[in-house]
Structure 1
């Protein structure tokens, strides 16, 4: 999948008003995902995406220099996406779902399946297509 098509898909699915918002959503979600999953897995996923998109997975020094494989829950995931993107919580959660759906399609689901397995259940519910993204409790 080419970069322009990828960003266009994000813009349409996340119902964003501009390509700039779609770029921001993509960067915000993938940088956060890159912090949450193991570095090797982030590299594998990045290698299957358009170069400009994949690089966001490798930028993991933003929050305290923890790098990759950091443990945090769904609320923290959404908070980081929100902080980076400027979107409110619900919009950040919606953008996360849209970005992960497009990433899944762009990689034919191969690596994204491993990414989902590396995430805790509450974060999986946020990023897996077909789930509501709501917390059950």
Structure 2
């Protein structure tokens, strides 16, 4: 999947414009990179289209420990979306990410996150 197709899919799933979906996708991936180990971030970057993998950064930072509420708050602050909009948007990004990565790789990502992230991802 190319980055444009990924963003179009997020826009359709979230009900946001393509511009908002692009911003949401970048913010979600950036927050995810802050939460994942450097190795997992680099591995994830290799699996994403180049335009999206740039949102993950260099993959050299240590993982920060924060939960889903803080994750959503960071995405909301970056995008200007309300918390409910950001929650729905993150769900759309996670669904699209799952589709892009497949079950095994998506499970590797979720394994580094608290269970509440899995609950969000499974609501889709």
Same fold at TM > 0.5: yes
Moved over 6 A (4+): none
Q: Deviation per CA, 1:44-93, whole angstroms, max 9, x where unpaired? A: 111111101111122689xxxxx341000111111001001110001111
TM-score, with normalisation over the residues of structure 1? 0.83
Residue number in structure 2 paired with 1:19: 18
For structure 2, list consecutive stretches of 5 or more residues without a partner in the other structure.
none
Whole-angstrom distance in 1 between the partners of 2:93 and 2:37: 19
With over 3 angstroms needed to count, the CA separation of the structure-2 counterparts of 1:58 and 1:30, relative to structure 1, is: same
Are positions 1:8 and 2:2 aligned together? no
Q: Give 3-state SS (helix, strand or coil) of 1:43's partner.
A: helix
| Structure with the bigger percentage of helix | 2
Please list the CA deviations of residues 30-55 of structure 1 after superposition, one character each: whole Å capped at 9, or x if unmatched.
00011001111011111111101111
Q: Distance in 2 between matches of 1:76 and 1:60?
A: 20
Counterparts of 1:70-81 in structure 2 under 5 Å? Answer: 70-81=64-75
Given that 2:41 and 2:59 are in contact with CA atoms closer than 8 Å, whether structure 1 keeps it comes out as no
1:94 deviates by 0.7
Query: Following TM superposition, by how much is the alpha carbon of 1:125 offset from its aligned partner in structure 2, in angstroms?
Result: 2.0
Q: So what's the TM-score if we normalise by structure 2?
A: 0.91
Aligned partners of 2:45 and 2:54 also within 8 Å: yes
Q: Are positions 1:115 and 2:120 aligned together? A: no
| Cα displacement (A) at 1:130 | 2.7
Are 1:34 and 1:57, in contact at CA under 8 Å, matched by a contact in 2? Answer: yes
Q: Which has the higher contact order (CA 8 A, sep 6+)?
A: 2
